[in-house]
Amino acid sequence: MSADAQGLPRAGELQARLQERLAPTQLQVIDESADHAGHVGASQEGFGTHFRVRIASPKFAGLSRVARHRLVYDAAQDFIDRGLHALAIETLDG
């Protein structure tokens, strides 16, 4: 692992953070970084830069799609600061 990759987030870390902050009823975190090899923002190691999150949370009740996404981004901000380059978010009622 390169020195740059040491700080990259792992799927388990992101999942734990979202669990802690948003108390989801459904949560799936998928690291799709390997699928983006050679793209801007991708790591050579193939992890930690591109994630897909499917999440349902009671905290989403009555919120617009944009507001739901903002909650997820706010929870993930320090991971973004560590190198998470792309976050695809699918919010579900729940």
Q: What average pLDDT does range 1-5 have in this prediction?
A: 39
Delineate the domains of the chain, giving CATH numbers in brackets: 4-92 (3.30.300.90)
Q: What is the pLDDT of residues 14-62, one digit of tens each?
A: 999 999 999 999 999 998 876 544 555 444 554 457 889 999 999 999 9
**What predicted TM-score, i.e. pTM, was given to this entire model?**
0.78
Q: How far apart are CA 44 and CA 53, in angstroms?
A: 22
pLDDT value of residue 60 = 97
Q: What is the pLDDT of residues 61-84, one digit of tens each?
A: 999 999 999 999 999 999 888 878
Q: How far apart are CA 94 and CA 57, in angstroms?
A: 5
pLDDT value of residue 2 = 35
